[in-house]
Structure 1
Amino acid sequence: MNRGYTIFISFVVALGGFLLGFDSAVISGAINGITMQFNMSDWELGFSVGCVIFGAMAGNITAGPLSDRFGRKKVLIVTAILFTVSATWSALATSYIEFVIARIIGGVGIGGAILIAPIYIAEVAPPKLRGSLVSLNQLNIVIGISVAYFSNYFLKDLEGESWRWMLGVEAIPAFIYFMALFLVPKSPRWLIQKLSLVEAAEKTLIKIGGNEYAISTIEEIRRGIAKKENKGTFSDLFSSRMRTIIIIAFGIAFFQQITGINAIFYYAPTIFEQAGGSTDSSFLQAIVVGLTNLIFTLIAIRLIDRLGRKPLLLIGTATMAIALSMATIAFNNASYNLNSVNITKVKNIEIKSAISNLKGEIFNSQKELFSNVEPLLNETQLHEFKRNEVKNFISINANLVLIAILLYVAAFAISLGPVMWTLLSEIFPGNIKGIAISVVGFFNSLVSYTVTQFFPWELTNLGPTVTFAIYAGMAILSLLFVMKFVVETKGKSLEEVEELLLLD
């Protein structure tokens, strides 16, 4: 068994996961820059961040059929091109429309990479290595998120428009990915199933596992083709027999995103600034968030087959509810001090002059502060105060906010993050698995978009206390859902899971 060669080609393909994670998180550092550059409203900011998910939906829908027709390798090469174009164009964008289009192009790459990279790795990896090698993709996603936070921190002080460098630097690993993909072979299973090119497939299989492995694998592929079962349809997916499976799948897909994880990843520095942190400290805290996500993803990979899916979900969702409640309490207990030092931090001269009438006042809640400031400002000024200036006056237990966010990310990383995709791969019957995961993945992306679109508006208009209270409520509901509906699949064959869940 040529482990080195197999690991190498799997690692190259899994770089698509790295780019996916990097692309998802790098926007967090550019938010202030793009907001000022394109004069964005809260809704425009939410869309510019979340529109990447629309592209991902398109990539999800088209990547599977295209990879079946043209091959896994060619589709992955296209995703590398899309990542490169998106990074370069978004960094050079001169208008809001251009920026959004560039982001959507990157989203298409994300949708293709998240679907095709694991498929390719699963098709080339020997059975004994398949689980660990496929997990390289998920691991690389998390590494990409962490590297994006580090990159943002080191680029934030560049003179000029640092946000352009933050976004543009992604073109470097994207181009490396593009070049490296030419070093990997086409999927041997695809070559046999779609083109009947047995000799070409055999050469790759020999390099992976030797002559005996190549012969046995080719025979296995041929047997699979010979006894190929009828392909399931969309109507089969929503038949009465599938009711239990549909409840579990759509419920987990909903709660994975509605509890706010992408709001944390996309807006981490913004959240820490809301807690009164400086720009430097906010970017450093975002790095810690990324590292926490990485460490606990590694723990989840180790525990998922030992402890089980449902126990991890129960522990994780309960801890998420506690962590989000802690953040809610921290913001709820904050006070707002309009002393002379804090007032001098206000950048807008007209706002600074107007609120000087409140010098020396201390308010016990954001709501109380806004009700006193509102009569002094016009509508535009009030919105700017809520959005950009309120952070200058907050007095809060910032350590409690940081601990709450880190605890939340850790809990997500050992539960809803990795377990959802594992469950989806296990609970659907084989003949309908492809279409089922595409449909549920599309729904999951739609919920994710909703969260990222509304988050800036929620922070400005509802405030962080109510925003985190909503997420805490959703985490409690997710815990109750797991307790009532999710079944344990650890140690069961796919056939046993099917017998357990399909209704007669």
Structure 2
Amino acid sequence: MSEEELLKKMDSNVANRVYWSLTLLATIGGFLFGYDTADIGTALDLIPYHLSAFALGYLVAGASLGAAIGAILAGPLTDRYGRKSILIVDALIYAIGAVVSALTVNADVLLVARTFIGLAVGADSAIATAYIAEYAPKGKRGSLEMLQEWMITFAQTVSYIIGFAILFMAPSLAFNYDWRIILGLAAIPAVVGLVFRTRMPESPRWLMVKGKTERLRQTLSYLRINVSEDEVERISREVRNEENRPKFSPGVKRAFVVAGLWMMFQQITGINIPFYYGPKIFAPMFGSGSGLSSVTDGILATLIISATQTLIVLAAIKYVDSIGRRGLGKVGYLGMALFMAIGGVSALLLKGTAEVAGLIVSFIGFMIFFGLGVGGIGWTIQGEYFPTHVRGTMASLLAFINWMSNFALIEVFPAWYHTVGLGEVMFTFAGLSFLAWVIFLFLLPETKGMSVEEINSMFESMSRKEEKENYATSDLNKGEGKGERNQ
């Protein structure tokens, strides 16, 4: 069996319970990612520390800054030491960060703990879908990778349910212990993830590139692919003979531009505003905006919005490998633009119950289109666009772009919101969503049903074609210039 034959066998394998179970383990980090980026929204109005506008923004956005750092660190580490080992370290960081957040003695410790948690969020967002892409059959790769997005949104919903339940059961402890419990409970799934991730196999494509034959045979056996020891040795030699290939070829650069723009726009169009600041935005709209009842009402409103996205991502998982990335992506940003505009109108022109209803409808519609055609697509193309030998590095750079965009927006939002108002902010998000729709109408290729190697070849072909067209245009311009001089 040759390298090409093995890859074809991996790509044509049936995505049975083994694949879904492995993907569930890989995306436990997605659950922690979602919970740890939403629980702060629930706890924000309960934390008893006095915070300036900047400190308030950093308390929410600090995890995003840590995530940007974690993403950059994870890239070279995962390409050198493997996907599995970094995913294990992520789970440990999640657990430590959650415990420190719950036991914090002052605001400074809490800010540091949130940034520390961010390291795991960033590393996990850089590695999880890259790991999945390296074992998933091509016919179900999108659905398997999309599970990461579902776990994120599911955990955000769980976070709001837990927050609401704790405040309902122990309202008298809200400003003393409830917020600590909300933040600290993230340690439980983190420890579960830490234990079970030690049992995961390493990525088969990474093992092929590194020539680790014995572990490769064990991983293939786990995936129900039987290959002899001699065949594994021969395949590893073939892969090592290709080590002189360029790391950052024109195709890799082109893929990075497309995916990088997608990662930036999926954040700056406002997706995390309702998740991070939803309770704080909605609380003043219920009664006087003070007291525990308005806080819980704000959490409940945000829960409704979050639950909607959790359900709609299930539809995206079902259709991403049939309708395709481009097919879903085309409707995603356009729908987001429409509903953000509806929210802007509601915030500016309506009052009282009508305003709340308009905003909830706006955010729900926005979440539907984001969940269907934007969020999961971003993590999917991040994992599948690049060749194995640079996948970890490129995925980490994309995660860095994602989290720096997130950090910038989340950090400035409190001041922006209080300066111009929610309506103007939402109209800005609508404009950015429409701009993204126009850009990706031209840039985003379809990759459904393609192996990761075929996707890499497609981007190289597109780059070569563009170079030829540029050369032809350049030669034509030179010829016209000579003709003009000869006249």
Q: TM-score range by the shorter chain?
A: 0.7 to 0.9
Question: Which residue identity does 1:138 align to in structure 2?
Answer: E
- Indicate if the aligned counterparts of 1:86 and 1:103 stay in contact, CA closer than 8 A: yes
Q: Which has the higher mean CA deviation after the structures are superposed, 301-310 or 481-490?
A: 481-490
1:197 Cα deviation (Å)?
4.5
Deviation at 1:7, TM superposition (A): 3.7
Displacement of 1:184: 2.8
Find the aligned partners of 2:23 and 2:295 in 1 and give their Cα distance. 38
Query: How far off is 1:163 after superposition?
Result: 1.1
Q: Deviations over 1:374-433 (max 9, x none)?
A: xxxxxxxxxxxxxxxxxxxx5643212111110001111112212233344555577765
67, 72, 81: which one aligns with 1:61: 72
Give 1:38's aligned amino acid: Y
Equivalences for residues 395-474 of structure 1 within 5 A: 396-425=354-383, 434-474=392-432
Cα gap change, 1:223 to 1:143, in 2 (>3 Å):
farther
1:320 aligns with 2:278: no
Residues 59/476 of structure 1: CA separation in 2 closer, same or farther (3 Å cut): same
Aligned to 2:270: 260
Q: Could you tell me the percent identity over the aligned residues? A: 29
Does the Cα contact within 8 Å between 1:52 and 1:107 map onto a contact in 2?
Answer: yes
CA 321–124 in structure 1, closer or farther in 2 if over 3 Å, else same:
closer
Query: Would the alpha carbon gap of residues 332 and 135 (structure 1) be closer, same or farther in structure 2, given more than 3 Å must change?
Result: closer
Of 303, 314, 321, the residue aligned with 1:305 is 321
**Is residue 84 of structure 2 the alignment partner of residue 84 of structure 1?**
no
Q: Counterpart of 1:499 in structure 2: which amino acid?
A: S
Conservation of the 8 A alpha-carbon contact between 1:2 and 1:207: no
8 Å Cα contact 1:205/1:214 also seen in 2: no
Superposed, 1:269-284 pairs within 5 Å as 269-276=279-286, 278-284=294-300
What is the letter of the counterpart of residue 281 of structure 1?
D
Q: How far, CA to CA, are the matches of 1:152 and 1:31 in structure 2?
A: 11
1:151 is the counterpart of 2:162:
yes
d(CA) in 2 for partners of 1:16, 1:315: 28
TM-score by length of 1: 0.78
- Paired with 2:316 and 2:166, the residues of 1 have a C-alpha distance of 31
Q: Which letter does structure 2 place at the counterpart of 1:441?
A: A
Q: Summarize the alignment of residues 15-34 of structure 1 with structure 2, pairs less than 5 Å apart.
A: 15-34=28-47
Separation in 2 of the partners of 1:429 and 1:124? 13
Alignment match, 1:179: 195
Give the match for residue 52 of structure 2. Answer: 41
Is residue 220 of structure 2 the alignment partner of residue 202 of structure 1?
Answer: no
Distance verdict in 2 for CA 1:131–1:247, change over 3 Å:
closer
- Write the distance in 2 (CA, Å) between the matches of 1:283 and 1:114: 26
- Does the residue aligned with 1:397 lie in a helix, a strand or coil? helix
Aligned to 1:75: 86
Aligned residue identity for 2:277: Y
Of the three residues 95, 98, 103, the one matched with 2:109 is: 98
Within a 5 Å distance, the mapping from 1:349-388 to structure 2 comes to none
**Match in the other structure for 2:302:** 286
* Deviation (angstroms), 1:67: 2.7
- Equivalents in 1 of 2:442, 2:56: separation in Å? 38
Q: Give, in angstroms, the shift of residue 108 of structure 1.
A: 0.6
Q: Tell me the residue number matched to 1:369.
A: none
What is the DSSP-based 3-state SS (H/G/I as helix, E as strand, rest coil) of the residue aligned with 1:457?
A: helix
Aligned length in residues:
438
* Preserved CA contact (<8 Å) 2:142 2:448: no
- Name the amino acid aligned to 1:476: F
Could you tell me which residue of structure 1 aligns to residue 241 of structure 2? 226
**CA separation of 1:212/1:59 partners in 2, compared to 1, >3 Å: closer, same or farther?**
same
Verify the 8 A CA contact 1:427 1:498 in the aligned structure 2. Answer: no
Native 8 Å contact 2:145 2:380 kept in 1: no
Give the drift of 1:498.
3.1
Residue identity in the other structure for 2:356 = A
Shift of 1:135: 3.4
Amino acid of the residue matched to residue 262 of structure 2? I
> Would the aligned equivalents of 2:143 and 2:318 in 1 still touch at CA under 8 Å?
no
Distance 1:208-1:401 versus aligned 2 partners, 3 A rule: same
Q: Which runs of no fewer than 5 residues in structure 2 stay unpaired?
A: 1-13, 288-293, 468-487
Q: Deviations over 1:85-143 (max 9, x none)?
A: 11111111122221111011111111122222333344455666655444333332222
Q: How far is the alpha carbon of 1:205 from its aligned partner?
A: 2.7
1:123–1:187 contact (8 Å) kept in structure 2 = yes
Judging changes above 3 Å, is the alpha-carbon distance between structure 1 residues 155 and 213 closer, same or farther for their aligned structure 2 residues? farther
Counterpart contact for 2:339–2:363, Cα < 8 Å: yes
Q: Give, in whole Å, the separation in 1 of the partners of 2:90 and 2:448.
A: 34
Q: Is the 8 A contact 1:50 1:452 kept in 2?
A: yes
The alpha carbon displacement at 1:59 in A equals 1.4
Moved more, 129-138 or 476-485: 129-138
User: How far, CA to CA, are the matches of 1:457 and 1:197 in structure 2?
Assistant: 52
> What is the match of residue 356 of structure 1?
none
**What amino acid sits opposite 1:202 in the alignment?**
R
Matched, 1:481 2:439: yes
Shift of the alpha carbon at 1:490? 4.5
Partner of 2:312: 296
Residue pair 2:216, 2:232 contacting (<8 A) in 1 also: no
- Tell me if the contact between 2:205 and 2:388 (Cα under 8 Å) persists in the aligned partners: no
Given that residues 25 and 149 in structure 1 are in contact (C-alpha distance below 8 angstroms), is that contact kept between their aligned partners in structure 2?
yes
User: Separation in 2 of the partners of 1:440 and 1:56?
Assistant: 12
Preserved CA contact (<8 Å) 2:104 2:110: yes
**Alignment check: 8 A CA contact 1:263 1:452 kept:** yes
- Report the Cα offset of residue 6 of structure 1: 4.4
Contact 1:428–1:498 (CA under 8 A) maintained in structure 2: no
The amino acid across from 1:32 in the alignment is D
Tell me by how many angstroms 1:171 deviates. 0.8
For 1:445 and 1:41, how far apart are their aligned partners in 2? 23
